[in-house]
């Protein structure tokens, strides 16, 4: 990773400090060096090289076709232009099914510039993977709620944790992920009240995407927040390009609104 002169890179320690001081964390996806450089100019805190590239770059209808090699390619592209943002990369579908495979996949992403890897799920086997990686110096972000890699198992993109038992299980899994060593947690498409409850119960930052305004930070897929993704956007998306003269202005508006607690609004959340 190359740092611009005078720039101080954001580390996990900085993110944990922001969480302790209740400063909201602004996160956006990027898949190439041009957008990575732009996000840096806009003072984004975290760049996520998401396996959402399967949808928005490759044109698939899910994230499951994305490979580790493809994730490594895009992570390297982003890392080359990244001046200071914390760089997180997704472990793609079927790349962390056992501890050995998980470490090999994570190592490939970290060798090309990732500061942290993200994996989906909070079951017993995922907890074992989190602990295995952390014990071997791989920082991990967990991901609960709607799990895009499990969309075929879930039967579509549906809000998760809506009933009492499902909410209780998700809270239990969130706490277990933190106990296993995860240093951040993405919460996707869950009731806003559950997002608040989980955030208040954890010692680590939560990053919401359709999880309400009380998470420690917010993430959106970049083409979604620019209003250029095909089809109807999810409820939790806001088009920040509306009324803005440039992409840079839209990204800066996203950062400002997240930091100020103006995004997401009630209209972007889900009820229990």
Write the secondary structure of the chain as one string of H (helix), E (strand) and C (coil): CCCCCCCCCCCHHHHHHHHHCCCCEEEEECCCHHHHHHHHHCCCCEEEECCCHHHHCCCCCCCCCCCHHHHHHHHHHHHHHCCCCEEEEECCCCCCCCHHHHHHHHHHHHHCCCCEEEEECCCHHHHHHHHHHHHCCCCEEEEEECCHHHHHHHCCCCCCCCCHHHHHHHHHHHHHHHHHCCCEEEEECCCHHHHHHHHHHCCCCEEEECCCCCCCEEEECHHHHCCCCCCCCCCCCCCCCCCCCCHHHHHHHHHHHHHHCCCCCHHHCCCC
Beta partners for 117? 89, 140
Query: Tokens standing for 180?
Result: 């296993």
CA dist., res. 75 & res. 78, Å (int): 5
Residues with catalytic annotation? Answer: 188
Do 205 and 16 meet the contact criterion of CB atoms below 8 Å apart?
A: yes
Query: Tokens standing for 171?
Result: 């809270």
Other Cβ atoms closer than 10 A to 173: 20
């Amino acid at each position: 990773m190359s740092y611009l002169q005078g720039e101080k890179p954001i580390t996990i320690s900085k993110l944990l400090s922001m969480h302790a001081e209740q400063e909201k964390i602004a996160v956006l996806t990027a898949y190439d060096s041009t957008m990575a450089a732009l996000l840096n100019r806009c003072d984004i805190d975290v760049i996520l090289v998401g396996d959402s590239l399967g949808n928005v770059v490759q044109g698939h209808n899910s994230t499951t076709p994305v490979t580790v090699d493809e994730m490594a390619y895009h992570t390297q592209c982003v890392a080359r232009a990244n001046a200071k943002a914390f760089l997180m990369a997704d472990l793609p579908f079927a790349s962390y099914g056992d501890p050995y495979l998980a470490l090999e996949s994570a190592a490939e992403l970290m060798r090309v510039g990732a500061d942290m890897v993200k994996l989906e799920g909070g079951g017993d086997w995922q907890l074992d993977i989190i602990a295995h990686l952390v014990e071997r110096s791989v920082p991990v972000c967990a991901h609960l709620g709607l799990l895009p890699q499990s969309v075929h198992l879930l039967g579509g993109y549906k809000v998760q944790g809506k009933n009492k038992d499902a909410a209780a299980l998700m809270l239990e899994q969130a706490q277990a992920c933190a106990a296993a060593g995860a240093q951040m947690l993405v919460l996707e498409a869950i009731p806003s009240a559950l997002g608040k409850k989980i955030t208040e119960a954890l010692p680590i930052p939560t990053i919401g995407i359709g999880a309400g305004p009380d998470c420690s930070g917010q993430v959106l897929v970049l083409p979604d927040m620019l209003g250029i993704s095909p089809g109807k956007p999810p409820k939790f998306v806001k088009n920040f390009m509306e009324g803005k003269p440039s992409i840079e202005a839209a990204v800066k508006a996203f950062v400002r609104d997240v930091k100020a607690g103006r995004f997401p609004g009630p209209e972007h959340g889900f009820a229990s």
